Amino acid sequence: MLPKSVKFILGRGQQLWYQEGVTKDGRKLDRSSQERLRISACTRVAGGESVTDVMSSCGYSRTTYYKWLKEYESKGIGALKRRHGSGSSPLVGKKHYVRITSWINGQDPRDFGYASGLWTRAIVSDLIEKKLKIKIRARAVGDLLARMNITPQKPLRRAYERDETAVMKWKKKTYPNVLKMAKKQGAEIFFLDEAGIRSDSKLGKTWGTRGKTPIVRTSGQRQQINAISAVSPLGKFWFALYECKFNAEFFIAFLKNFAKYRRKPLIIILDGHPAHKAKSVAKFVQSTEGKVQLVFLPPYAPDLNPDEFVWKHLKDNGLRKLPLHKNESLKSRVEKDLLRIARDKSVIASFFKAESVAYLSA
Protein backbone atom coordinates (compact mmCIF):
# COMPACT_ATOMS: atom_id res chain seq x y z
CA MET A 1 0.00 0.00 0.00
CA LEU A 2 1.08 3.56 -0.68
CA PRO A 3 1.63 5.93 2.22
CA LYS A 4 -1.04 8.52 2.86
CA SER A 5 0.82 11.18 0.94
CA VAL A 6 2.99 10.52 -2.14
CA LYS A 7 4.19 13.06 -4.69
CA PHE A 8 4.89 12.05 -8.31
CA ILE A 9 7.09 14.37 -10.41
CA LEU A 10 5.74 14.10 -13.95
CA GLY A 11 7.73 16.68 -15.93
CA ARG A 12 7.23 20.30 -17.03
CA GLY A 13 6.96 21.26 -13.37
CA GLN A 14 3.69 19.32 -12.92
CA GLN A 15 3.19 17.34 -9.71
CA LEU A 16 0.51 14.79 -8.90
CA TRP A 17 -0.21 14.15 -5.20
CA TYR A 18 -1.85 11.00 -3.96
CA GLN A 19 -3.79 11.40 -0.77
CA GLU A 20 -5.83 8.67 0.83
CA GLY A 21 -9.49 9.04 -0.09
CA VAL A 22 -8.79 11.59 -2.83
CA THR A 23 -8.83 10.55 -6.52
CA LYS A 24 -6.95 12.68 -9.04
CA ASP A 25 -7.98 12.99 -12.69
CA GLY A 26 -4.89 12.19 -14.81
CA ARG A 27 -6.64 13.34 -17.97
CA LYS A 28 -6.03 16.94 -16.95
CA LEU A 29 -2.27 16.55 -17.26
CA ASP A 30 -0.32 17.55 -20.38
CA ARG A 31 0.60 14.79 -22.84
CA SER A 32 4.21 14.42 -21.74
CA SER A 33 3.10 13.94 -18.12
CA GLN A 34 0.39 11.47 -19.18
CA GLU A 35 3.05 9.44 -20.99
CA ARG A 36 5.24 9.32 -17.88
CA LEU A 37 2.21 8.38 -15.79
CA ARG A 38 1.33 5.43 -18.10
CA ILE A 39 4.86 4.12 -17.97
CA SER A 40 5.04 4.58 -14.19
CA ALA A 41 1.67 2.86 -13.65
CA CYS A 42 2.56 -0.21 -15.72
CA THR A 43 6.01 -0.62 -14.22
CA ARG A 44 4.49 -0.37 -10.73
CA VAL A 45 1.94 -3.08 -11.51
CA ALA A 46 4.70 -5.18 -13.09
CA GLY A 47 6.67 -4.68 -9.85
CA GLY A 48 3.92 -6.14 -7.68
CA GLU A 49 1.51 -3.33 -6.83
CA SER A 50 -2.20 -3.89 -7.37
CA VAL A 51 -4.16 -2.11 -10.09
CA THR A 52 -6.46 -0.75 -7.37
CA ASP A 53 -3.60 1.04 -5.59
CA VAL A 54 -2.19 2.44 -8.83
CA MET A 55 -5.65 3.51 -10.01
CA SER A 56 -6.42 5.40 -6.79
CA SER A 57 -3.18 7.35 -7.00
CA CYS A 58 -3.20 8.24 -10.69
CA GLY A 59 -6.83 8.92 -11.48
CA TYR A 60 -7.87 6.72 -14.43
CA SER A 61 -10.54 4.02 -14.63
CA ARG A 62 -9.70 0.33 -14.12
CA THR A 63 -10.50 -0.41 -17.79
CA THR A 64 -7.86 2.10 -18.89
CA TYR A 65 -5.17 0.42 -16.78
CA TYR A 66 -5.91 -3.03 -18.13
CA LYS A 67 -5.75 -1.61 -21.66
CA TRP A 68 -2.31 -0.12 -20.89
CA LEU A 69 -1.10 -3.37 -19.34
CA LYS A 70 -2.21 -5.36 -22.36
CA GLU A 71 -0.27 -3.02 -24.67
CA TYR A 72 2.73 -3.08 -22.33
CA GLU A 73 2.84 -6.87 -22.16
CA SER A 74 2.43 -7.40 -25.92
CA LYS A 75 4.48 -4.52 -27.36
CA GLY A 76 6.69 -3.29 -24.56
CA ILE A 77 7.20 0.16 -23.09
CA GLY A 78 7.19 1.81 -26.52
CA ALA A 79 3.44 1.18 -26.80
CA LEU A 80 2.88 3.54 -23.85
CA LYS A 81 4.61 6.51 -25.38
CA ARG A 82 2.52 9.31 -26.76
CA ARG A 83 1.64 9.37 -30.42
CA HIS A 84 1.70 12.52 -32.49
CA GLY A 85 -1.62 12.86 -34.23
CA SER A 86 -1.72 14.06 -37.80
CA GLY A 87 -4.39 16.59 -36.91
CA SER A 88 -7.12 17.83 -39.16
CA SER A 89 -6.34 18.94 -42.69
CA PRO A 90 -5.54 22.68 -42.91
CA LEU A 91 -8.22 24.88 -44.39
CA VAL A 92 -5.68 26.45 -46.74
CA GLY A 93 -3.98 23.47 -48.40
CA LYS A 94 -1.25 22.98 -50.97
CA LYS A 95 -3.79 23.33 -53.76
CA HIS A 96 -4.07 27.01 -52.81
CA TYR A 97 -0.32 27.71 -52.56
CA VAL A 98 0.25 28.61 -56.22
CA ARG A 99 -2.54 31.16 -56.22
CA ILE A 100 -1.48 32.81 -52.94
CA THR A 101 2.15 32.91 -54.09
CA SER A 102 1.10 34.62 -57.33
CA TRP A 103 -0.52 37.38 -55.26
CA ILE A 104 2.45 38.04 -53.01
CA ASN A 105 5.34 37.54 -55.45
CA GLY A 106 3.65 38.90 -58.53
CA GLN A 107 1.45 41.79 -57.43
CA ASP A 108 1.09 44.70 -55.04
CA PRO A 109 -1.60 44.85 -52.28
CA ARG A 110 -2.78 48.09 -53.88
CA ASP A 111 -3.69 46.08 -56.99
CA PHE A 112 -6.40 44.47 -54.85
CA GLY A 113 -7.70 47.73 -53.42
CA TYR A 114 -5.68 47.91 -50.19
CA ALA A 115 -4.10 51.18 -49.08
CA SER A 116 -0.74 49.65 -48.16
CA GLY A 117 2.01 48.79 -50.63
CA LEU A 118 3.41 46.16 -48.26
CA TRP A 119 2.03 42.67 -47.67
CA THR A 120 1.00 42.06 -44.06
CA ARG A 121 -0.55 39.03 -42.38
CA ALA A 122 -3.80 40.94 -41.90
CA ILE A 123 -3.98 41.79 -45.62
CA VAL A 124 -3.17 38.21 -46.67
CA SER A 125 -5.80 36.90 -44.24
CA ASP A 126 -8.42 39.29 -45.60
CA LEU A 127 -7.57 38.48 -49.22
CA ILE A 128 -7.78 34.73 -48.61
CA GLU A 129 -11.24 35.23 -47.14
CA LYS A 130 -12.33 37.35 -50.13
CA LYS A 131 -10.81 35.22 -52.89
CA LEU A 132 -10.91 31.69 -51.47
CA LYS A 133 -13.89 32.07 -49.11
CA ILE A 134 -11.76 30.65 -46.30
CA LYS A 135 -11.51 32.42 -42.97
CA ILE A 136 -8.05 32.22 -41.40
CA ARG A 137 -6.77 34.28 -38.50
CA ALA A 138 -4.01 36.78 -39.19
CA ARG A 139 -1.73 35.18 -36.60
CA ALA A 140 -2.01 31.82 -38.42
CA VAL A 141 -0.99 33.42 -41.72
CA GLY A 142 2.64 33.59 -40.58
CA ASP A 143 2.80 29.78 -40.22
CA LEU A 144 1.05 29.37 -43.58
CA LEU A 145 3.52 31.64 -45.39
CA ALA A 146 6.47 29.89 -43.72
CA ARG A 147 5.23 26.56 -45.09
CA MET A 148 5.11 28.20 -48.52
CA ASN A 149 8.73 29.40 -48.10
CA ILE A 150 7.61 33.05 -48.06
CA THR A 151 9.45 35.14 -45.48
CA PRO A 152 9.30 38.80 -44.34
CA GLN A 153 11.91 40.80 -46.25
CA LYS A 154 12.98 44.39 -46.79
CA PRO A 155 11.69 45.27 -50.29
CA LEU A 156 13.55 47.02 -53.07
CA ARG A 157 12.09 50.23 -54.46
CA ARG A 158 10.71 50.28 -58.00
CA ALA A 159 9.65 53.48 -59.72
CA TYR A 160 6.24 53.66 -61.40
CA GLU A 161 8.03 55.06 -64.44
CA ARG A 162 10.17 51.94 -64.85
CA ASP A 163 9.65 50.21 -68.21
CA GLU A 164 9.93 46.45 -67.71
CA THR A 165 9.97 45.91 -71.48
CA ALA A 166 13.06 48.10 -71.75
CA VAL A 167 14.65 46.24 -68.84
CA MET A 168 14.05 42.91 -70.52
CA LYS A 169 15.45 44.25 -73.80
CA TRP A 170 18.59 45.39 -71.98
CA LYS A 171 19.11 41.97 -70.43
CA LYS A 172 18.33 39.89 -73.51
CA LYS A 173 19.64 42.05 -76.35
CA THR A 174 21.52 45.24 -75.47
CA TYR A 175 23.99 43.87 -72.93
CA PRO A 176 24.84 40.75 -75.02
CA ASN A 177 25.61 43.15 -77.90
CA VAL A 178 27.85 45.19 -75.57
CA LEU A 179 29.75 41.99 -74.73
CA LYS A 180 30.24 41.23 -78.43
CA MET A 181 31.42 44.78 -79.06
CA ALA A 182 33.90 44.62 -76.16
CA LYS A 183 35.29 41.31 -77.41
CA LYS A 184 35.66 42.64 -80.94
CA GLN A 185 37.42 45.85 -79.80
CA GLY A 186 39.42 44.26 -76.99
CA ALA A 187 37.75 46.72 -74.61
CA GLU A 188 37.15 46.56 -70.85
CA ILE A 189 33.61 46.89 -69.45
CA PHE A 190 33.01 48.94 -66.30
CA PHE A 191 29.78 49.84 -64.49
CA LEU A 192 29.88 53.36 -63.04
CA ASP A 193 27.81 55.19 -60.42
CA GLU A 194 27.97 58.12 -57.95
CA ALA A 195 26.80 58.41 -54.35
CA GLY A 196 26.70 60.85 -51.46
CA ILE A 197 27.88 59.67 -48.02
CA ARG A 198 26.91 61.42 -44.78
CA SER A 199 28.45 61.07 -41.33
CA ASP A 200 24.98 60.97 -39.73
CA SER A 201 23.62 58.18 -41.93
CA LYS A 202 21.42 55.57 -40.29
CA LEU A 203 23.27 53.17 -37.98
CA GLY A 204 22.95 49.39 -38.19
CA LYS A 205 21.35 47.27 -35.44
CA THR A 206 22.80 46.36 -32.05
CA TRP A 207 21.57 44.37 -29.05
CA GLY A 208 19.98 45.95 -26.01
CA THR A 209 17.46 45.41 -23.22
CA ARG A 210 13.85 45.27 -24.43
CA GLY A 211 12.21 48.69 -24.07
CA LYS A 212 15.54 50.48 -23.55
CA THR A 213 17.02 51.92 -26.75
CA PRO A 214 20.82 51.44 -26.85
CA ILE A 215 23.04 54.51 -27.27
CA VAL A 216 26.05 54.52 -29.60
CA ARG A 217 28.53 57.37 -29.22
CA THR A 218 29.53 58.99 -32.50
CA SER A 219 30.69 62.32 -33.79
CA GLY A 220 28.18 65.13 -33.63
CA GLN A 221 29.85 66.95 -36.52
CA ARG A 222 27.88 66.63 -39.73
CA GLN A 223 30.13 65.79 -42.64
CA GLN A 224 29.37 64.87 -46.23
CA ILE A 225 31.49 63.56 -49.07
CA ASN A 226 30.62 62.48 -52.60
CA ALA A 227 32.15 59.54 -54.39
CA ILE A 228 32.21 58.04 -57.88
CA SER A 229 33.30 54.49 -58.60
CA ALA A 230 33.51 51.97 -61.42
CA VAL A 231 33.59 48.20 -61.10
CA SER A 232 34.46 45.53 -63.65
CA PRO A 233 33.13 41.96 -63.95
CA LEU A 234 36.83 40.95 -64.10
CA GLY A 235 37.43 42.26 -60.56
CA LYS A 236 38.86 45.73 -61.30
CA PHE A 237 37.80 48.74 -59.25
CA TRP A 238 38.32 52.51 -59.53
CA PHE A 239 37.03 55.40 -57.40
CA ALA A 240 37.42 59.12 -56.74
CA LEU A 241 36.12 61.45 -54.00
CA TYR A 242 34.85 64.98 -54.46
CA GLU A 243 33.12 67.67 -52.39
CA CYS A 244 31.72 69.85 -55.17
CA LYS A 245 28.44 69.55 -57.03
CA PHE A 246 28.46 66.86 -59.69
CA ASN A 247 28.12 68.28 -63.19
CA ALA A 248 29.28 67.66 -66.76
CA GLU A 249 32.56 69.51 -66.28
CA PHE A 250 33.59 67.37 -63.34
CA PHE A 251 32.35 64.20 -64.99
CA ILE A 252 34.66 64.84 -67.95
CA ALA A 253 37.54 65.32 -65.50
CA PHE A 254 36.67 61.97 -63.88
CA LEU A 255 36.56 60.23 -67.25
CA LYS A 256 39.97 61.64 -68.16
CA ASN A 257 41.40 60.43 -64.85
CA PHE A 258 39.76 57.04 -65.25
CA ALA A 259 41.05 56.52 -68.79
CA LYS A 260 44.55 57.80 -68.03
CA TYR A 261 47.29 55.20 -68.58
CA ARG A 262 44.80 52.54 -69.71
CA ARG A 263 45.85 50.72 -72.84
CA LYS A 264 42.55 49.06 -73.65
CA PRO A 265 39.40 50.95 -74.75
CA LEU A 266 36.77 51.49 -72.05
CA ILE A 267 33.05 50.72 -72.33
CA ILE A 268 31.39 52.43 -69.37
CA ILE A 269 27.82 51.43 -68.46
CA LEU A 270 25.94 54.03 -66.40
CA ASP A 271 22.56 55.62 -65.73
CA GLY A 272 20.97 58.57 -67.47
CA HIS A 273 22.01 61.33 -65.04
CA PRO A 274 21.82 64.73 -66.82
CA ALA A 275 25.58 65.23 -66.40
CA HIS A 276 26.22 61.88 -68.09
CA LYS A 277 24.18 62.87 -71.13
CA ALA A 278 25.37 66.47 -71.43
CA LYS A 279 26.46 67.67 -74.88
CA SER A 280 29.93 68.52 -73.60
CA VAL A 281 30.34 64.96 -72.32
CA ALA A 282 29.20 63.51 -75.64
CA LYS A 283 31.70 65.79 -77.42
CA PHE A 284 34.53 64.62 -75.16
CA VAL A 285 33.63 60.95 -75.66
CA GLN A 286 33.66 61.49 -79.43
CA SER A 287 37.10 63.12 -79.19
CA THR A 288 38.58 59.98 -77.62
CA GLU A 289 38.03 58.15 -80.92
CA GLY A 290 36.68 55.02 -79.28
CA LYS A 291 38.96 54.90 -76.23
CA VAL A 292 35.99 55.88 -74.03
CA GLN A 293 32.44 54.77 -74.88
CA LEU A 294 29.30 55.29 -72.81
CA VAL A 295 26.36 52.87 -72.77
CA PHE A 296 23.23 53.89 -70.86
CA LEU A 297 21.06 51.65 -68.70
CA PRO A 298 17.25 51.75 -69.00
CA PRO A 299 15.65 54.59 -66.98
CA TYR A 300 14.71 53.90 -63.36
CA ALA A 301 16.62 50.60 -63.23
CA PRO A 302 19.47 51.07 -60.71
CA ASP A 303 19.25 47.39 -59.75
CA LEU A 304 20.80 46.49 -63.12
CA ASN A 305 24.02 48.23 -62.09
CA PRO A 306 26.33 46.15 -59.83
CA ASP A 307 28.15 49.35 -58.82
CA GLU A 308 25.06 50.21 -56.75
CA PHE A 309 26.11 47.41 -54.37
CA VAL A 310 29.43 49.15 -53.77
CA TRP A 311 27.63 51.85 -51.81
CA LYS A 312 25.51 49.37 -49.88
CA HIS A 313 28.61 47.43 -48.88
CA LEU A 314 30.42 50.66 -47.99
CA LYS A 315 27.63 51.79 -45.66
CA ASP A 316 26.79 48.40 -44.13
CA ASN A 317 30.43 47.59 -43.36
CA GLY A 318 31.59 51.14 -42.74
CA LEU A 319 29.70 53.92 -40.99
CA ARG A 320 26.73 51.78 -39.95
CA LYS A 321 28.97 49.29 -38.18
CA LEU A 322 31.87 51.59 -37.18
CA PRO A 323 30.59 55.15 -36.57
CA LEU A 324 33.07 58.01 -36.81
CA HIS A 325 35.25 58.70 -33.78
CA LYS A 326 35.53 62.17 -32.30
CA ASN A 327 37.16 64.58 -34.79
CA GLU A 328 37.59 61.79 -37.36
CA SER A 329 37.46 62.87 -41.01
CA LEU A 330 34.66 61.35 -43.06
CA LYS A 331 36.69 61.80 -46.24
CA SER A 332 39.63 59.89 -44.78
CA ARG A 333 37.36 57.09 -43.52
CA VAL A 334 35.53 56.66 -46.84
CA GLU A 335 38.83 56.65 -48.74
CA LYS A 336 40.16 53.86 -46.49
CA ASP A 337 36.96 51.83 -46.88
CA LEU A 338 37.02 52.15 -50.67
CA LEU A 339 40.70 51.18 -50.80
CA ARG A 340 39.82 48.11 -48.75
CA ILE A 341 37.20 47.18 -51.34
CA ALA A 342 39.68 47.71 -54.16
CA ARG A 343 42.11 45.23 -52.56
CA ASP A 344 39.51 42.51 -51.91
CA LYS A 345 38.65 40.63 -55.11
CA SER A 346 36.07 38.46 -53.31
CA VAL A 347 34.11 41.56 -52.25
CA ILE A 348 34.19 42.95 -55.79
CA ALA A 349 33.00 39.58 -57.13
CA SER A 350 30.09 39.65 -54.64
CA PHE A 351 28.66 42.75 -56.35
CA PHE A 352 27.93 40.60 -59.40
CA LYS A 353 26.18 37.79 -57.49
CA ALA A 354 22.96 39.59 -56.61
CA GLU A 355 19.80 38.25 -58.23
CA SER A 356 19.10 41.55 -60.01
CA VAL A 357 22.40 41.36 -61.93
CA ALA A 358 22.30 37.65 -62.66
CA TYR A 359 21.85 38.56 -66.34
CA LEU A 360 25.54 39.52 -66.43
CA SER A 361 26.61 35.89 -66.15
CA ALA A 362 23.75 34.40 -68.19
Output 10 or 157, whichever has higher pLDDT.
Answer: 157
Tens digits of per-residue pLDDT, 275-303? Answer: 999 999 999 999 999 999 999 999 989 99
- Highest mean pLDDT out of 2-11, 115-124, 200-209, 281-290: 281-290
Q: Around Cβ 143, how many Cβ atoms within 10 Å?
A: 12
Q: What is the DSSP string of 342-359?
A: HH-HHHHHHTT-SGGGGG
Residue 23 has pLDDT above 50, yes or no: no
For the residues 252-266, what does the mean pLDDT come to?
A: 92
- Stated pTM of the model: 0.61
Among candidates 357, 354, 348, 313, which has minimal Cα distance to 238? 348
Among candidates 142, 172, 103, which has minimal Cα distance to 360? 172
* Spatial separation of the C-alpha atoms in residues 69 and 90, rounded to whole Å: 35
Of the ranges 84-98, 183-197, 262-276, 331-345, which one carries the lowest mean pLDDT score? 84-98
Tens digits of per-residue pLDDT, 24-41? Answer: 566 667 777 778 888 888
Output 122 or 211, whichever has higher pLDDT.
Answer: 122
For the residues 45-72, what does the mean pLDDT come to?
A: 78
For the residues 342-347, what does the mean pLDDT come to?
A: 92
For the residues 178-205, what does the mean pLDDT come to?
A: 86
Residue 92 has pLDDT above 70, yes or no: yes
Helix axes 279-287, 248-259, angle to 10 degrees: 20
